[in-house]
Chain A
Amino acid sequence: MPELNHYLLLSVLLFGLGLTGVLVRRNVLIVLMCIELMLNSANLLLVAFSRQGGGLDGQAFAFFSMTVAAAEVALGLAIVVLLYRWHGSTSLEHLRLVPSQPEEGR
């Protein structure tokens, strides 16, 4: 029988993976996916705690979190499409949203 500790460990590992991806990867699509990984690890923990404590509050929180995540993905991918149109790639490497020198601004 898996205990709460095991779910804690799994969730922390998954969150760490997602965080590493957000910090390390330079493809904006993969960064979005890593944010999804982190959200999912939090959801898993919510459900595990809900199981431990009894009651359905944790599951309800996870449910709402999924809803927000779905909205976030829709908007995030719309921004990715805009970014690609404007910048021509999905790389964050040379992306600069704010001009470094204001007098150069177009």
Chain B
Amino acid sequence: MRPLLFILLSLLTLGGGLWVVLRRSPVDSVLGLLTVMVSIAGHYMLLQAPFLAAVQLIVYGGAVIVLFLFVIMLLNLRKDVLQARRLPAGRWFYALSGAAALLALSGLFRAGADWLPAAGLPQDGTVEAFGAELFRRWVYPFELTSVLLLAALVGAVALTRRAGEPGATATDEEA
């Protein structure tokens, strides 16, 4: 069962990656990227890193994908760019990959107890073990990431704000 899951997840990963590279429309590519992210979360479960699997789903599968879709929506791209060469096979790919991902993930979570024989060992990436490691050994890098994220937040706002908008300073208007 475990090799089977690995092969299934790997096929999903590579298929999604191919989809990202080959499809013309950015929206299609985002959906391929979502497939890759979800299947890699499944790989993390197989590698006994359930915490990272959850983070992968939340950060990549949630935030990053939605950010991409938001930007595509904001850019208001031309219709022919978004709907270029839409193959009828596309929806079958989505349906199949969605079903396969669901199957794989539900299988992973249902039979988790059998496949996580190392549960409780210190090297197991459960939330408890990982949190203890993170807040002992890696606490300074962890705190530094908050500075990084704040810088990214301020940077993104400062970059995309138009000069002259409410809240823009005098130097912005001159620029």
Contact = CB atoms under 8 A, between A and B. Distances in A.
Interface size classification for chain A? 35 or more
B88 interface: no
Contact of A60 (B63, B134, B155, B156): B134
Contacts of B33: 33, 36-37
B96 interface: no
A81 B74 contact: yes
The A interface, classified by DSSP as helix, strand, loop or mixed, is helix
B129 interface: yes
Contacts, number: 162
B148 A25 contact: no
Given A56-B133, A60-B133, A70-B59, A50 B49 contact: yes
B148 A77 contact: no
Nearest to B141: A64
A69 B55 CA distance: 13
A102 interface: no
Contacts of B47: 7, 47-48, 50-51
Contacts of A33: 20, 26, 29-30, 33, 68
A74 interface: yes
Interface of A: 1-2, 6-7, 10, 13-14, 17-18, 20-21, 24-25, 27, 29-30, 32-34, 36-37, 40, 43-44, 47-48, 50-51, 54-56, 59-60, 62-64, 66-75, 77-82, 84, 90
The 8 closest A-B pairs by CB, nearest first: A71-B152, A21-B21, A17-B17, A2-B6, A78-B156, A78-B159, A29-B26, A54-B123
Given A17-B20, A17-B21, A48-B47, 9 more contacts: A13-B14, A20-B21, A47-B43, A56-B129, A71-B149, A74-B155, A75-B152, A81-B75, A82-B160
12 contacts: A1-B2, A2-B2, A10-B10, A54-B123, A64-B138, A68-B145, A69-B60, A71-B148, A74-B152, A74-B156, A78-B160, A80-B71
Interface of B: 2-3, 6, 10, 13-14, 17-18, 20-21, 26, 29-30, 33, 36-37, 40, 43-44, 46-49, 51-52, 55-56, 59-60, 63-64, 67-68, 71-72, 74-75, 77, 123, 125, 129-130, 133-134, 137-138, 141-142, 145, 148-149, 151-153, 155-156, 159-160
